[in-house]
Amino acid sequence: MGTLISLLFLTTLLILSGCNPAPSNGTNGTASPPTTNPKEAEMGSKQVQEPEPNLPQKLPTPIIQTESGISIPAVQSSYCWSGTCADYVGGMDLLEGHTPVPVLVGEKISIDMGIEIPPDELEMFEYVDNRSQPITSTGGTFQLPMEPGTYYYRAFVRWSSPQDSQISLGDTSFAFVVRVVEKK
């Protein structure tokens, strides 16, 4: 009987302590006083921040070219842009049915997103044995292999908030396929 009363007392105590009418700010200190700065008061608890870059509303289309001027079409893959996200099949399946563009061995390929604001991140991948492997690119430029053959590539491009690099303002990914041939 004593155990039942103790259990009832503890349960009541826990319920009452959870219903405390005073809000908790998660610290042991006192809450900060209200602000007197009108601009700060207008913004609430947000800090004054730099404006975000003005990215275009329309999803950018990559311009992919070899150093000799050959254009390579990109196949759109997954993206999140202007509040819209789309998820596409990935990998080499995305390129199924697309004709590889003939390019020269060892040629450099450059990728330009066609907008004024450069991306914060551009990652390149090559598919080898149906597996994605990162490749080195500098400023959106990379060099094709010296070995002739058909090569499949994927790129991921991201624009981040200047205040927090973990916040994406927009991202896109795309793929393309080339057939590397010997110089004649």
Write out pLDDT tens, residues 70-126: 999 999 999 999 999 999 988 788 999 999 999 999 999 999 999 999 999 999 999
pLDDT greater at residue 142 or residue 30: 142
Whether 174 shows a pLDDT value over 60: the answer reads yes
Please compute the mean of the pLDDT values over residues 164-169 and round it to a whole number.
92
Quick one: what percent of the chain has pLDDT higher than 70? 72
In tens, the pLDDT along 116-142 reads: 999 999 999 999 888 899 999 999 999
Quick one: what percent of the chain has pLDDT higher than 90? 62
Q: Domain ranges for the chain, please list them.
A: 63-181
pTM over 0.75: no
Residues 6+ apart with CB under 8 A from 49: 163
What CATH class does 63-181 carry? mainly beta
Write down the H helix ranges in the chain: 2-18, 38-43
Whether 1 shows a pLDDT value over 80: the answer reads no
10 Å CB burial of residue 45 (0-12, 13-18, 19+) is: exposed
CA count, 13 A, side-chain hemisphere, 45: 3
Instruction: Write down the pLDDT at residue 91.
Output: 78
